[in-house]
Chains A and B, each alone.
Chain A
Amino acid sequence: MDVVVVGAGVIGAACADALSAAGLRVTVLDRGPLASGTSAAGEGNILVSDKEPGPELDLALSSLSRWPALVGDTDIEWDPKGGLVVATGDPAPLAHFAAVQREAGVDARWITPAEALEREPHLTTRVTAAVHYPQDAQVQPVLAAQALLSNVRRRGGVLRPGVTVVGLDARGVHTSEGVIACDHVVNACGPWSGEVSRALGAPIAIAPRRGMVLVTAPLPPTVHHKVYDADYVGAVASGDADLQTSTVVESTAAGTILIGSSRERVGFDESIRIRVLRELARKAVALFPSLADVPVMRAYGGFRPYAPDHLPVIGADPRVPGLWHATGHEGAGIGLAAATGALLAELLTGATPHLDPTPFRVDRPGVLECA
């Protein structure tokens, strides 16, 4: 069976990896270079800490356990650094959140402010409560996607950067380089999945949500975990168009510190907004006062693909036989990729899904749009 995966981001790469591992002949198309879309525009956190109990957390826990095996010995800067969520105001909401997460299988350890400062000596002393999440990890997302794509190539799959998909009919996928015959097509076009789904004749409601990240000059080790403000959880789950920022501070293997990230619905507008950068800087300095004098070297950003109900879309399109979607992972696609690829391949090959696919189905309310 021949499958064309459209989109060589981390999600397309994970789907192609799982499909080729299941023995299918896979071709991966991308209109640009491989792994250069949203997957090259964000941080590489593999998180359970920011997720409330529910289908996304289940997908995250499954993904967390699958990631290391998928890449074998390849260096993707895997760092099981753990997350530290701190509250600087009322500790009660954080305490409640951690408690329900624990019931759902998350390792969420309530620690004292003093213990938090021991783990992160540069943290503000205004911390009132903290939760340590040893399961949170980090990868370098481009290396991670490339590692999965290398698996595909090794199994005889074909990678074709620079090929734009423009349509679909009984003959196959129509592209800028002609028609490619196949039995199945997977739409994994990230924030562009909405427009691509329209071109394929099966529109789904995926829209972009912009995010910006600040990068500092390299420093000696200063921040050890992924540290974030407890208000992050509120921002992730919110659908407000307005600017939202919540501080997420972490270092990378190279010594730079990433300060993320904002959430704005501004379409695909790429122009920089100093107001957004200022908010990120303010919150980072509030969390780590000693970062005040650190130079910011660059700012970058991308567009998170999101569905109206903020859940990924993984499964068959009910309108067009052979068309599948794997998208809508919003700010968690790197983390969720491993389990997404596995689930899509299970559904496509008729194997028993390793977790309940119903919450992610394509024909749930709000996702299907009229053609």
Chain B
Amino acid sequence: MKVVVIGGGPAGLAAARAAAGAGADTVLVDSEPTLGGQFHRGDPQRVDPRVRHLANSTVWAVEGMRLHVRTGPADSPSRTGETLNADAVVLATGAHDRVVPFPGWDLPGVYTAGAAQALAKGQKIAIGHRVVVSGTGPFLLPVAESLKAVGAEVLRICDANTGLGWLGRPRAASPAKLAELLGYAVRLGAAWRPRTAVVAAHGEDRVNAVTVAKLNPDWTIRSQERVAVDAVCVGHGFTPRLELAVAAGCVLTDGFVQVDHTGATSVPGWYAAGEVTGIGGADLAAAEGEVAGAAAARGACPTKALAKVRSGRRFAAALADAHPIRPGWHTWLTDNTLICRCEEVTYKDLRAAVDLEASGTRTFKLTSRIGLGLCQGRTCARAAVDIATALSGDRRTFFTPADLQRRPIATPLRLAELASLPEEDL
């Protein structure tokens, strides 16, 4: 029984441990040089010694139960290849930052929360001296704390929502979670501003000021002020990395991989855990990984982990409800605000595409050029589709989350690498 776990964050690590514990021949493929994923950045993790760990390795394509892997630094000409034939796969590819665009978000000095966190935790570098953190969700708080720890002055932590809605929900948060949040409140409360947002960044070659706005509940602007900064950090939740799930044919629900309580997806042999199935923090990811790893290896169900998954998912759902993205952000945009940085597509260009009745993902991309550049829409596609849907008004649209994540080549590879794949790998 061969189990391949894709992704070495909290979910993948736990899945690999559980699968190996259940006696499966287990391989853990992770694209980073060290294990730990997003949560343990700067604090490399070790995996169960029975697990074969392929570091610096990316699953770039999926054919049924066959996984195509490249190993080596992304742009190195000396990467090597390998094909894994799995009996079961656990998908734990995590999520990346979601950012809502605003005028000036493309200026140097504007960072995503994930990038700012990685620099702070991984390399002990602060993105600036005077920083405003903006977006929505509780993850802004640990990021702000990391920034402070490396010497940045955090002027404001702007959450466009009130962020407190879920507190009223019975059993939504465990006592530990509440204690964690209380700690943040004590340490960061002075900078925290609910219902506010950075709605524009200013500067020539680098950000030197931002417009911070007080928002209405729908995120339209009530009033604004200018704040001098030398860096901004933004995060509006997460977008799951779904290209492999889509390539494998897994059904999605609400933009995440649909799983049952064991982590089984709609495709036999394919399991998923962690942020690809919903956003709920590192502990939930690890618990889901443990359950899915055991299920993939046909081992006994770890009941304690399963109980954690159940309560964790309640918390995650409450979290998601408390931190919606409200459409008022569209009113922050100007005609020339860049939406797609790779292809330099502006808000105005999106409107032109909608005027041509580009109402499906493919035609919308080909008409506006959104998402056709190097990031293949990972950064911008979601925002662009939100905009297009709003601009389409009463007209029918056909955008689907799966179409947005359809990237059968999950990470780029050089033509020579593709050309030299050996016969036995096909």
Contact = CB atoms under 8 A, between A and B. Distances in A.
Interface string A258-290: 010000000000011111011001101100000
A218 B373 contact: yes
B62, B360, B376 — most chain A CB neighbours (10 Å): B360
B418 A277 contact: yes
A159 B373 CA distance: 30
B247, B356, B409, B415 — most chain A CB neighbours (10 Å): B415
Interface residues of A, number: 44
B396 A292 contact: no
B49 interface: no
B407 A298 contact: yes
Contacts of A256: 372
B356 A33 contact: no
Contacts of A140: 366
Interface in A210-224: 214, 216-218
Contacts of B418: 214, 277-278, 281, 296
B77, B359, B407 — most chain A CB neighbours (10 Å): B359
Nearest to A8: B357
B419 A142 contact: no
Contact of A295 (B357, B358, B360, B414): B414
B53 interface: no
B369 to A, nearest CB: 7
Contact of A296 (B63, B68, B412): B412
A111 interface: no
Interface in B370-396: 372-374, 376, 396
A320 to B, nearest CB: 29
Contacts of A143: 356, 366-367
Contact of A40 (B77, B363, B376, B426): B363
A225 B62 CA distance: 33
B414 A296 contact: yes
A158 to B, nearest CB: 12
Contact of B61 (A274, A294, A297): A274
B367, B414, B426 — most chain A CB neighbours (10 Å): B414
A254 interface: yes
30 contacts: A33-B360, A33-B398, A36-B360, A36-B398, A140-B366, A146-B356, A146-B357, A146-B367, A159-B357, A161-B396, A161-B398, A162-B396, A214-B418, A254-B369, A271-B63, A271-B249, A272-B62, A272-B63, A274-B63, A274-B421, A275-B426, A277-B409, A278-B418, A284-B415, A285-B415, A285-B419, A296-B412, A297-B374, A297-B409, A298-B408
Given A34-B357, A216-B415, A217-B374, 11 more contacts: A142-B362, A142-B366, A143-B367, A146-B367, A149-B357, A271-B64, A293-B77, A294-B414, A295-B414, A297-B376, A300-B408
Interface of A: 32-36, 40-41, 140, 142-143, 146, 149-150, 159, 161-162, 214, 216-218, 254, 256, 259, 271-275, 277-278, 281-282, 284-285, 291-300
